[in-house]
Amino acid sequence: MTKEIIGNWKMNGLLSCEATFCEIMSGYAEYDSLSASADSDCEGARLTICPPSTLLYRFSSLARERDSRVLLGGQSCHHAAEGSFTGDISASMLHDCGAHRTLLGHAERRASGENDGMISRQLLAALHSGLTPILCVGEDMDERSSGRTRIRLEEQLAGALLLVREMGISMPSLLIAYEPLWAIGSGELPSVDEISQALECIMASVYDFSEVSVLYGGSVTSKNAAAILDCSDGLLIGKASLDSDELLSIVGLCYDSV
């Protein structure tokens, strides 16, 4: 199965980072052509970069000029299509700038006030605008310590998927990233067994959707990525995705059999 590799640049990157994005596009194109010419059954990686929205249009133009298969994603969206929401960005605006996908419910957005009800409406807006949602869920350290990881994941998924279920909306595909809050940017990760259990719990909670991929995110680097790729459909990568060499060496792990 093709692995999903998603780089979340968060609030990092100016127009001068164009060079980094170009390196990422070139490296990814090389892996892709290698696997095509190797005549192997290696399915490689689908690479998505979620830059700050100020860079989306520029990056999508560069990707189009180079015929690149790198996908672009937003980092969140407002639930409304337009209106008096100073500082916000709508799903249709992301799509208009060239995004194919968008993160929703990232822990850093939840920390600044987004709740499951809002995320459920954002998910509808994303689907309505033709964006594939990348829904982020994960427990904090208190929830982990008190053995409530599973309950928290089930709650977040039920909340975020409430409206699509109620309205009977079918989703062509849904990506869910398990990102424990305590693992983001900390250098600490759950064990591979814990990640597998969390991903199984997520899959069991979304049995009614057909095309679901479950990813892991939180302190992923080229050193720990291989073991996590073995038990997941892909990775959501923060800091390591800002460094083109580091990101490409993680992408390369998905082509190892070539």
Of 110 and 239, nearer to ligand 13P (C-beta) is 239
Min dist CB 110 to ligand 13P, Å, is 11
Q: Distance between CA 216 and CA 136 in Å, rounded?
A: 9
Min dist CB 236 to ligand 13P, Å, is 5
Of 125 and 240, nearer to ligand 13P (C-beta) is 240
Min dist CB 184 to ligand 13P, Å, is 4
| Residue 179 appears among annotated catalytic residues | yes
Of 173 and 186, nearer to ligand 13P (C-beta) is 186
Is there a contact between 8 and 33 (Cβ–Cβ < 8 Å)?
Answer: no
Q: Which residues bind ligand 13P (CB under 6 A)?
A: 8, 106, 179, 184-185, 217-220, 236-240
Nearest position to ligand 13P, beta carbon: 238
User: Left if phi > 0, otherwise alpha if psi is -120 to 50, otherwise beta: which for 219?
Assistant: left
Is there a contact between 95 and 53 (Cβ–Cβ < 8 Å)?
Answer: no
Q: Read off φ and ψ for residue 162, nearest 5 degrees.
A: -55, -50
Judging by beta carbons within 10 Å of its beta carbon (0-12, 13-18, 19+), is residue 217 exposed, middle or buried? buried
Helix or strand holding residue 46 (H, E):
strand 45-50
| Residue 95 appears among annotated catalytic residues | no
Report the DSSP beta bridge partners of residue 213: 175
Identify the active-site residue in 4, 95, 106, 246. Answer: 106
Min dist CB 198 to ligand 13P, Å, is 15
Of 157 and 184, nearer to ligand 13P (C-beta) is 184
Q: Distance between CA 232 and CA 106 in Å, rounded?
A: 19
Min dist CB 132 to ligand 13P, Å, is 16
Of 35 and 132, nearer to ligand 13P (C-beta) is 132
Structure tokens at 119: 């995320």
Is there a contact between 159 and 120 (Cβ–Cβ < 8 Å)?
Answer: yes
Active site residues: 106, 179
